């Protein structure tokens, strides 16, 4: 699943020091200092690498990271936040989705193709912004042409100069009126190209992506769409024409080239659930296929060239961050070649009451903040006493210990249960102020949390 979030941060990613990267991550992820440190160094290293002479830069391999830690402690969260920060093309893939090529799963190269698609979107978006003013000007000209057809459309007899002046003056008058909104109610006919992408899905041994490439090359006309006249109001027409001009001004090929470059130099691929494909030689059954996936992934991590519809992509300098709980399998159960490509190992710690208190309240968009905001939309003022937050965290720890440890995810189920009544009754409540204190938390949660069987189902 690609995650696409070119969020603009106050500081440009290029200038962030490792310390600043960690403190940015601190805004969203509680604790896990060592993991944050490792990713901060990796990010900074690629900035350093880009400043090297190209010969030397070629030699510097990315220091891929393996994050090891129980479920729900922030592995994915750290990687996601890092990508936003780096404004790098970033995708997250589940290792377990891939099985041997031609079997059931997707072929592993698709992760690189997806990443390139994402980079293309990022760059196109950037370029579109760059040409926006120019496109708007051209659109205005085209619209004026439509509103004021030239006197001599054939253009073969030069107009007497005073007539020309007159035309020009009228045009400028129209331009002023157009900008002032005086022509908004007028209707014009414009040619639009209908985008008609035929949709079909083919399931064969080869990947969907490859088929996509072929179809577009073979049947260009199919993808062009048809010209059609449409009537629209001036404002709408202006917008439409501006969009058309933007597309014209952005050169698809240079976008592709830039995207490929960006992926090669700055791409990040997060391989989640890597422990699910751990399994060694000599094993039987499912292990054989797991090992197959590792063998498939290996060349991409080691550096290979992947053919995408935007060009060939070298994967040598893509940063890989792999993560897994490694409950049963251990990192040493990965094939040795793959282990070697993840030189940085960081362990994430299990979370306890103290961390839960902070997770509930501190990060931007923390759970408590979310619920307060949600209920405020109903005109309800929700207040959490500190002792209540502490109780919630304690219950989360207790349930994690007594049933299964699902880390911070437990907070979601507990909060939902805690606020079940308020969430349901909010619109009808006469008392508009709700105070959640320790007693409230106990009343809502104690019975369930103490009963292992119940909490297994409810929390």
Ligand X SMILES: Nc1ncnc2c1ncn2[C@@H]1O[C@H](COP(=O)(O)OP(=O)(O)OP(=O)(O)O)[C@@H](O)[C@H]1O
Ranked by CB distance to ligand X, the top (closest) residue is 74
25 vs 183 by CB, closer to Mg ion: 25
Residue from the set 120, 318, 335, 408 that interacts with ligand X by CB under 6 A: 408
Instruction: Report which DSSP code applies to 365.
Output: T
In contact, 352 and 345? CB cutoff 8 Å: no
DSSP bridge pairs for 65: 321, 344
Nearer to ligand X, 75 or 341 (CB): 75
Token representation of residue 154: 């054939």
> 116: number of CA atoms within 13 Å, CB side?
24
What is the sign of the dihedral through the CA atoms of 423, 426, 429 and 433?
positive
- Which x/- pattern over 15-54 shows residues binding ligand X (rule: CB under 6 A)? --------------xxxx----------------------
Taking CA 50 as the corner, what is the angle to CA 45 and CA 54, rounded to the nearest 5 degrees? 125
Q: Could you tell which of ligand X, Mg ion, none binds residue 325, using a CB distance below 5 to 8 A set by kind?
A: ligand X
Report in angstroms how near the CB of residue 355 gets to ligand X at its nearest. 6
Stretches 41-49, 73-81, 130-138, 293-301: which one binds ligand X (CB under 6 A)?
A: 73-81
**Cβ contacts of 157-165, under 8 Å, gap ≥ 24:** none
Element (H, E) at 233: strand 227-233
Binding mask 249-288 for ligand X (x = CB under 6 A): -----------------------x----------------
Q: Is residue 407 involved in binding ligand X (CB under 6 A)?
A: yes
Residue ranges in 70-225 assigned as alpha helix (H): 75-86, 110-147, 161-179, 208-218, 220-224
Q: Choose one: 67-75, 91-99, 144-152, 418-426; the region binding Mg ion (CB under 5 A).
A: 67-75
Query: Nearest distance from residue 94's CB to Mg ion, in Å?
Result: 9
Question: Which CB sits closer to ligand X, 31 or 105?
Answer: 31
Closer to ligand X by Cβ: residue 122 or 346: 346
User: Counting contacts by CB under 5 A, is residue 96 touching Mg ion?
Assistant: no
Q: State the DSSP string of 316-330.
A: TT-EEEEEE--SSS-
For Mg ion, the binding residue among 50, 76, 207, 423 (CB under 5 A) is 76
**Of the candidates 54, 36, 56, 34, the residue with the CA atom closest to the CA atom of residue 44:** 36
Positions that interact with Mg ion (CB under 5 A): 75-76
- Residues near ligand X (CB under 6 A): 29-32, 71-77, 272, 325, 359, 363, 407-409
């Amino acid at each position: 699943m690609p995650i696409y979030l070119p969020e603009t941060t106050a500081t440009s990613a290029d200038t962030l020091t490792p310390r600043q990267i960690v403190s940015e991550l601190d805004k969203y992820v509680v604790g896990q200092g060592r993991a944050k440190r490792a990713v901060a160094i990796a990010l900074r290293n690629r900035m350093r690498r880009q400043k090297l002479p190209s010969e030397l830069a070629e030699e510097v391999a990315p220091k891929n990271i393996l994050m090891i830690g129980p479920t729900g402690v922030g592995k994915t969260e750290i990687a996601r936040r890092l990508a936003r920060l780096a404004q790098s093309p970033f995708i997250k893939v589940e290792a377990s989705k891939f099985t041997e090529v031609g079997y059931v799963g997707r072929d592993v190269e698709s992760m690189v193709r997806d990443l390139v698609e994402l980079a293309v979107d990022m760059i196109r978006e950037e370029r579109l912004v760059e040409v926006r003013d120019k496109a708007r000007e051209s659109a205005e000209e085209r619209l004026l042409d439509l509103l004021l057809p030239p006197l001599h459309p054939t253009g073969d007899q030069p107009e007497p100069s005073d007539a020309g002046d007159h035309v020009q003056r009228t045009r400028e008058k129209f331009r002023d009126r157009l900008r002032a909104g005086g022509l908004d109610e007028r209707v014009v006919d414009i040619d639009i190209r209908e985008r008609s992408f035929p949709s079909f899905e083919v399931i064969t041994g080869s990947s969907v992506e490859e088929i996509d490439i072929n179809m577009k090359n073979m049947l260009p006309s199919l993808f062009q769409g048809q010209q059609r006249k449409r009537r629209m109001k001036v404002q709408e027409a202006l917008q439409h024409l501006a969009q058309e001009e933007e597309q014209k001004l952005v050169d698809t090929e240079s976008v592709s080239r830039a995207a490929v470059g960006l992926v090669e130099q700055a791409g990040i691929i997060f391989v989640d659930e890597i422990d699910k494909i751990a399994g060694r030689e000599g094993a039987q059954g499912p292990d054989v296929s797991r090992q197959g996936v590792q063998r498939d992934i290996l060349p991409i991590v080691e550096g290979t060239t992947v053919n995408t519809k935007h060009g060939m992509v070298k994967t040598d300098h893509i940063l890989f961050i792999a993560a897994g709980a490694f409950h049963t399998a251990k990192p040493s159960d990965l094939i040795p070649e793959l282990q070697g490509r993840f030189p940085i190992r960081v362990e994430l710690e299990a979370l306890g009451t103290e961390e839960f208190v902070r997770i509930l309240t501190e990060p931007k968009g923390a759970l408590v903040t979310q619920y307060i905001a949600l209920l405020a939309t109903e005109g309800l003022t929700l207040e959490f006493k500190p002792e209540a937050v502490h109780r919630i965290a304690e219950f989360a720890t207790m349930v994690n210990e007594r049933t299964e440890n699902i880390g911070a995810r437990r907070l979601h189920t507990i909060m939902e249960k805690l606020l079940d009544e308020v969430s349901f009754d909010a619109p009808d409540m006469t008392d508009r102020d709700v105070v959640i204190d320790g007693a409230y938390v106990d009343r809502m949660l104690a019975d369930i949390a103490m009963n292992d069987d119940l909490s297994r189902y409810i929390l």
